[in-house]
């Protein structure tokens, strides 16, 4: 079967670093996406990884290990506005997105 | 104006009502999607249209009926819904289905409550 696992909720402190993990089992693999979704708003694209390694984009970085079926999203210098849900999704062999349930990140002052 | 616009933002309907959700994208994309988002559950793909042709129907009950008159507009027609259908319904678009790196752009969703 196809499955995406990520923690339900995480808490971190403003200015700190947090790593949100995602493990997956899918039929085929055509890349992994991370999206951010603030409460009551649309999910917005953060990153796409299809090859192993780390992709850095400002304060956010995303890592992928295809052999381990594992990814993480790293957020540095946390700001209060980073409080949101972070959705992990993989694209299977049919180019269909398989979504995790999302990780709610709470930032405390 | 945002890339993907959904109306209405909120909808309360009775189980015997008929209503429609509307989605419009101004990005020149060729693929459009309907998703259902329930609390603490993964996004559930409902329907996919690629170049105005329906390519996916993920075992969605017939009380949900999609319509895609052109590549910019997508509707979801609702009738005789059940309380468990209450959820956030998200529309998304992408350049085309079957393109690996093609990110999806989402609308802000319609919060549907069935009473």
pLDDT in tens, A60-102: 999 999 999 999 999 999 999 999 999 999 998 888 889 999 9
CA distance A17 to chain B (A): 24
- pLDDT attached to residue B2: 62
Specify the DSSP class assigned to residue A23. E
Residue A18 CA to residue A75 CA, distance in Å, equals 5
- Per the CB < 8 Å rule, is B106 touching A44? yes
- Per the CB < 8 Å rule, is B42 touching A42? no
Q: Is the pLDDT of residue B56 over 80?
A: no
Residues B15-28 as b or e (16 or more Cβ within 10 Å = b): eeeebebbbbbeee
Q: Is the pLDDT of residue B114 over 60?
A: yes
- Per the CB < 8 Å rule, is A95 touching B106? no
> Which residues on A lie below 8 Å from B108 (Cβ)?
40-42
With contact defined as beta carbons under 8 Å apart, do A78 and A12 qualify? yes
């Amino acid at each position: 079967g196809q499955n995406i696992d990520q923690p339900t909720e995480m808490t971190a402190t403003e200015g700190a670093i947090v790593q949100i993990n995602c493990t997956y089992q899918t039929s085929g693999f055509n890349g992994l996406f991370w999206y951010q979704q603030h409460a009551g708003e649309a999910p917005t694209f953060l990153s796409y990884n299809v090859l192993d390694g780390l992709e850095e984009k400002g304060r956010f970085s995303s890592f992928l290990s295809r052999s381990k079926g594992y990814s993480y999203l790293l957020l540095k210098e946390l700001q209060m506005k980073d409080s949101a849900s972070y959705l992990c999704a993989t694209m299977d062999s049919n180019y269909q997105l398989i979504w995790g349930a999302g990780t709610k990140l709470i930032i405390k002052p | 104006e945002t890339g993907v616009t959904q109306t209405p933002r909120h909808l309360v309907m009775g189980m015997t009502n008929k209503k429609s959700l509307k989605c419009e994208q101004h990005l020149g994309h060729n693929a459009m999607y309907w998703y259902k988002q329930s609390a603490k559950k993964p996004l559930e793909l409902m329907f996919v249209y690629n170049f105005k042709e329906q390519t996916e129907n993920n075992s969605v009950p017939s009380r949900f009926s999609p319509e895609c008159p052109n590549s910019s507009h997508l509707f979801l027609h609702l009738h005789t819904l059940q309380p468990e259908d209450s959820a956030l319904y998200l529309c998304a678009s992408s350049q085309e289905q079957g393109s690996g790196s093609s990110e999806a752009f989402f609308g802000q969703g319609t919060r549907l409550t069935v009473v």
